[in-house]
Amino acid sequence: MEQNFDLLAEDCIEYSQDRYQQLEELMEDFVHDGFSILTIGLSHHGKSSLLRKLMDSNVEQSLSSTTKFLHYQIAYDHYLDTPGFDHVGKNTTLALSLIANTDLHLFVHDITTGLLSEQELAFLKLIFAHMDKEAFFKRTIFVLSHKDMVAEPLALQAKLTEQLQQEFGVECLYQLNAVNALQSDDLIELRGQIAAVKEQLLPKLNAYKLKRVTAICHEVKNEVLANKQRLDKLIHENQEHCASLQHDFERCLTDYRQLEEALFNSTKAQLDEDLLERLNSDVNTCTSSTTKLNYTMEQGEELLGKLKECIVNKYDLDPSFEEQCPKLIELRAQNDLFAQNIKIFDEILLKINTLDSQIESYRS
């Protein structure tokens, strides 16, 4: 019998519900063409300001630069803001994971600093150690911020394109856009560019999302079925244990009552040997004792005391004044809880099967 599985079952249910919620969100994201946009770049290059403008957000940031990962959601689109490369530190693994799993990257570079710095190039090379270079550039727009602060932004944009070609090859698609985040025309143009990239990427993204949601659906379904089978097995074991415990408990309690009554009613010095022999055997079984008692009234009372101790230890009750076995009550309550958990797992499975049918309709 597994110990404390009532707590484990609650954890499994919570986990299964969380997994189903994740699955449902992924399905909604797929159905509604959800899109995720991630800003990356050095600190103080305008990532957060640009993202807020793209979201039409008036939310102000109290920090001078983003020092943690931020997530915003508008309808089914997700906007993620990352710390500058110089602030990522121990979260580099998380940053690389987000870059690999978001649909579009806005690499924000302050055009007033000139060409990409060694730090920016080094971070790009780190990215390419974890994902395909061409795939990254297809999903990345280099946003050149603060264009209003330089005399010839388009000339600098051309030089940056040349720098990227020299560093990473001419075969890659480099998408650059010089903007002033405060200028509405620039934002309209950038939104148009983002929409064009989204339209181009969407067929492949949706195929990938459908494949992913299908795999997760099967994973969650198998996890829930495994937990349900585990609970079914425990319920069966509990029922067998309850039946055995009930039988032993009733026998011990009946024998105790018989000896108690015999001692109360008897005026003889000798008690019924068959009864005492059986009770002595019960006590020896409980206490692993091999002592043979003589069957006098005194020793009958001693045996009654030992039988009482045995019942107290084995069944958690005092037979002098109790009739209900706490261990049996606990086991039955545990089984009731397991049965409720089975119903919850069935409800989750029903939802998953409905979602699975929806997924199949998109696959066919």
Quick one: 180 and 233 in the same domain?
no
pLDDT tens readout for residues 131-166: 999 999 999 999 999 999 999 999 999 999 999 999
- Residue 318 makes CB contacts below 8 A (sequence gap 6+) with 308, 311, 312
Quick one: 102 and 132 in the same domain?
yes
Instruction: Determine the structural domain holding residue 192 and report its residue range.
Output: 35-204
DSSP 69-88: -EEEEETTEEEEE---HHHH
Report the number of distinct structural domains present in the chain.
2
- CATH classification at residue 89: 3.40.50.300
pLDDT tens readout for residues 318-355: 877 777 888 888 888 888 888 888 888 898 899 889 98
Burial label for 343, CB within 10 Å (0-12, 13-18, 19+), is: exposed
Hunting for tokens 């009613």 — which residue is that?
265
Q: d(Cα 89, Cα 355) in Å, to the nearest integer? A: 40
The tokens describing 249, both together, are 């408990």
Domain contains 15? no
Domain contains 209? no
Quick one: 124 and 235 in the same domain?
no
pLDDT score at 132: 92
